[in-house]
């Protein structure tokens, strides 16, 4: 049984910020787990222990609530798990690798793949509403931009001369998004490791983590 915040009917204390935070917490979790259309305001109200009047006071419509989650929570999540670590890393390549590994390790530990919040909502809402689409596209853009900027910083330090910043960033984000999509569907994070390995060995050369098997014995004539 999950602990319910706010219960005593005795007294009441106005706490707009706290209530707003509680609603956003619950909404963020529900949007991540069930998506937009499958999340009902009734469930959210019950989970956050908030009445309809209070909810409507802070978020006039369901769309407004979801938009707030996207702009405040999803964007922050991308910032926290991707942008900041990449900026703090020794290089763009190293940053991407470390985020991949950190996320993979976290997924393996908790044994359940919830998927990328941004991608989850992007797929469901991009075509449904232009406001949603714009907000989500902005987060994707900032994500790629941060990685591309890091590549440019590397280049100014004399490294990564042959790497196109924009393309590298697009590939990193796309690979991560797609890998998380598969991991979520298969409920198995192994594909994330495969993708990271393939990314690192440059798609073409392998030599791989262990000895590759040669077996160039029988070639079809």
Partner DNA sequence: GACAAAACAGGACAACCGGTCTGTTTATAA
Partner DNA sequence: TTATAAACAGACCGGTTGTCCTGTTTTGTC
Interface residue list for DNA (CB under 7 A)? 6, 9, 11-16, 18-20, 39-43, 50-54, 56-58, 60-63
Residue 98 binds to a second copy (criterion: CB under 8 A): no
Residue 55 vs 96, nearer CB to DNA: 55
- Asked if 39 and 27 count as a contact pair (C-beta separation under 8 A), the reply is yes
- Asked if 28 and 70 count as a contact pair (C-beta separation under 8 A), the reply is no
- Between the alpha carbon of residue 31 and those of residues 15, 28, 104, 172, the distances in Å are 24, 5, 22, 25
DSSP symbols for 32-62:
HHH-STT--HHHHHHHHT--HHHHHHH-SSH
Minimum CB separation of residue 121 from DNA in Å reads 15
Ordered alpha helix ranges (H), 70-189:
75-78, 84-88, 92-110, 117-125, 130-156, 165-186
Minimum CB separation of residue 1 from DNA in Å reads 20
Q: Which does 76 bind (CB under 5 to 8 A by kind): a second copy, DNA, none?
A: none
Residue 33 vs 105, nearer CB to DNA: 33
Residue 46 vs 206, nearer CB to DNA: 46
CA quadruple 194, 110, 31, 196: dihedral, nearest 10 = -20
Max CA-CA distance within the chain? 86
Residue 30 vs 104, nearer CB to DNA: 30
Binding interface with a second copy (CB under 8 A): 33-35, 37-38, 114-115, 119-120, 122-124, 126-128, 133, 136-137, 140-141, 144, 156-159, 161-164, 166-168, 170-171, 173-179, 181-182, 184-187, 191, 194-195, 197-199, 201-208, 212-216, 218-220
């Amino acid at each position: 049984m999950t602990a319910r915040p706010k219960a005593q009917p005795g007294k009441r204390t106005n706490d707009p910020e706290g209530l707003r935070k509680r609603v956003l917490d619950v909404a963020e979790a529900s949007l991540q787990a069930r998506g937009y259309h499958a999340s009902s305001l009734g469930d959210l109200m019950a989970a956050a222990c908030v009445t309809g009047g209070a909810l409507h006071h802070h978020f006039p419509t369901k769309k407004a609530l979801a938009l707030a989650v996207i702009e405040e929570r999803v964007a922050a999540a991308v910032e926290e798990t991707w942008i900041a670590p990449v900026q703090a890393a020794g290089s763009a390549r190293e940053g991407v690798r470390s985020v991949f590994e950190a996320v993979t390790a976290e997924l393996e530990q908790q044994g359940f793949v919830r998927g990328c919040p941004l991608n989850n909502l992007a797929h469901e809402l991009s075509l449904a509403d232009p406001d949603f689409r714009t907000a989500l596209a902005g987060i994707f853009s900032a994500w790629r931009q941060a990685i591309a900027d890091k590549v440019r910083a590397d280049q100014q330090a004399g490294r990564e001369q042959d790497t196109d910043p924009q393309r590298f960033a697009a590939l990193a984000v796309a690979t991560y998004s797609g890998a998380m999509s598969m991991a979520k569907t298969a409920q198995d994070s192994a594909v994330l490791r495969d993708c990271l390995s393939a990314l690192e060995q440059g798609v073409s050369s392998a030599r791989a983590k262990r000895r590759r098997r040669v077996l160039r014995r029988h070639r079809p004539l």
